[in-house]
Amino acid sequence: MGMVAGMVWFDWGEGATGMASDESKRDDAERDDANTFTLRSIVTGPIAEMSLLRQSLLFAELSYISYMSRGEAGVFANEMGLDDVRYYDRDGAQAYVFGSEHDAIVVCRGTEPHEWNDIQADLDAVSAVAETVGHVHRGFKREVDDLWPRLEQALLSNERPLWFAGHSLGGAMAAICAGRCKLSHIPSNPSGLFTYGAPRVGDHRYVNYVRMDYYRWVNNNDIVPRVPPRWMGYRHAGKEIYLDNRGQVRNLHGWWRFRDRVRGFVKGLTRFRIDHFSDHNLVGYIEGIWRAIEQEEPVHDRENLAELRQQRRASSVPYPHFVDHKQAKDHTAKAPKQG
């Protein structure tokens, strides 16, 4: 999904950018990852006990499978350790609620190019009076207005820690839903909010009215987090986690951020792509988070989780261990309609 100045796109193409060392091998791997990638997350206990990077990987992968049909998303979620899968669709606004015995996770689906409601939501950047204070993006608010009554009803009986996540438009919707949950009569408050390539949602008063643990991932030149523009009054909230042009987590600001973005743009041109669009691909986020995990997590921990995943996959419904981008995109059109 994407949006900027009247333009809408949905990129399932390029994979994550490679690291500086051994660039040629990385490039080959990227071309392979343009079609498939391996789901690596597994839930073995409370999500709160996972590291921040493991949480980020889990919610990014759930955001990815949220683009799939109810049946296929359920297969992958079950394999990851989430046995409860519920799908909600109201006038083109869609979300999943994934759950285990320990946690519940609301994942909002991003823009689909064949859904006119999604495209309208992206383009309707006029601000509207929020249900709390300040002003919020009218298109995003309308999407949540369609969906929230059903989600709220479904969450009334939830007593588990509750998490919110989403990519692109789904991230904007998740942010609004998490805020409403925080202020509503739902007994469980948001334990955390994770977004990937999410646009700005509201003005300063709105985004700072509700405080929560919010982690906002931005991949190098991804243009969607830069819209709607600041001159229209829109602001970001949460703690930004930035992936540089090599797909590494970096704390870069000012001149250093600008220089890194220029490097990413030039690198993109050498690969015949526009970095501002290709960096919005959720796979780039997932692979960047995984590289950070490889650098920080002991090898034996990763191997133990990988073995557990293999055991769970062997006992689950037979299905390829990778996600096929083209199939995922095709199957979004086949997602069941509810209500």
201-232: pLDDT as tens digits: 988 888 888 788 999 999 999 999 998 888 88
Average pLDDT over residues 27-37: 44
The pLDDT tens digits for 137-178 are 888 888 899 899 999 999 998 999 999 999 999 999 999 999
How many other C-beta atoms lie within 10 A of the C-beta of residue 165?
Answer: 29
The pLDDT tens digits for 75-90 are 899 989 999 999 999 8
The pLDDT tens digits for 177-207 are 998 888 888 888 899 999 999 999 988 888 8
Please tell me the total number of residues recorded for the chain in this structure: 339
Q: Is the pLDDT of residue 19 over 70?
A: no
pLDDT of residue 208: 82
143 alpha-carbon distance from chain centroid = 17
Q: Is the pLDDT of residue 337 over 70?
A: no
Strands (E), 254-326: 322-324
Average pLDDT over residues 102-117: 74
pLDDT of residue 322: 47
Q: Say whether 127 sits in a helix, a strand or coil.
A: strand
**Amino acid identity, position 251:** N
For the chain, the straight-line distance linking the first and the last C-alpha, in angstroms and rounded, comes to 24
Q: Cα–Cα distances in Å, from 219 out to 38, 181, 238, 260?
A: 20, 28, 16, 11
**What is the rounded distance in angstroms from the CA atom of residue 160 to the CA atom of residue 252?**
36
**Amino acid identity, position 135:** H
**What is the rounded distance in angstroms from the CA atom of residue 29 to the CA atom of residue 24?**
9
Give me the DSSP letters along 41-59.
Answer: ----S-GGGS-HHHHHHHH
The pLDDT tens digits for 232-241 are 888 889 999 9
Q: Is the pLDDT of residue 22 over 60?
A: no
Q: Say whether 235 sits in a helix, a strand or coil.
A: strand
> Which of 203-212, 291-300, 302-311 has the least mean pLDDT?
302-311
Return all residues near 139 (Cβ < 8 A) that are at least 6 apart: 120, 121, 122, 123, 124, 125
Cα–Cα nearest to 225, from 169, 161, 294: 169
